[in-house]
Amino acid sequence: MTRYEKGANFERELVAKFWEHGWASMRAAGSGTTSFPVPDVIGIKDNKIIIVECKTTKKDRLSLKKDILALKKFSGICNGNAYIAIKFYKKGPRFFDLNKLLSKGDYTITIHDQFLDLESILGKQKTL
């Protein structure tokens, strides 16, 4: 399976999970090929927006400055809650809150960093 296929499958998996939890969701076609800061997955429910940039890796760390800054720009325009979702090798999806990443000022995410799961970010939206 190619890197593209792994990433696309991860994005499709997240879209399906959003729908299972009652969110309207879509995968942004060509998100990695446009010059605009387009995220990979967008979920909407009850006027709340979650935007997600997805990554898969066999490494135990990723440096994502470009992706984090692009996600910041998009979330600033749509006022959505933004996350980087990483599927580390043989691990489930891990979600990293964009605001926390920006506040720590470090654009590297490791397999040892604190993370949220999908249910946490969807449940968090109920309390906003």
pLDDT tens per residue across span 47-106: 999 999 999 999 999 999 999 999 999 999 999 999 999 999 999 999 999 999 999 888
At residue 100, the pLDDT reads: 93
Amino acid identity of 55?
A: K
Query: Which range is least confidently modeled, 42-46, 91-95, 124-128?
Result: 124-128
Name the more confident of 58 and 128: 58
pLDDT-derived band at 124, boundaries 50, 70, 90: low
Cα–Cα dist 41/55, whole Å: 11
Q: Catalytic residue numbers?
A: 31
What is the spatial distance between Cα 63 and Cα 68, in angstroms, rounded to a whole number?
A: 9
More confident residue, 5 or 63: 63
**Domains of the chain, residue spans:** 3-126
**Given this model, what pLDDT does residue 126 score?**
45
Residue 31 has pLDDT above 80, yes or no: no
Nearest to 91 by CA among 109, 108, 111, 107: 111
Predicted pLDDT of residue 21: 93
CA 76 – CA 107 distance, rounded (Å): 18
What pLDDT shows up at residue 117? 93
Across the chain, what does the average pLDDT equal? 90
CATH architecture of 3-126: 3-Layer(aba) Sandwich (3.40)
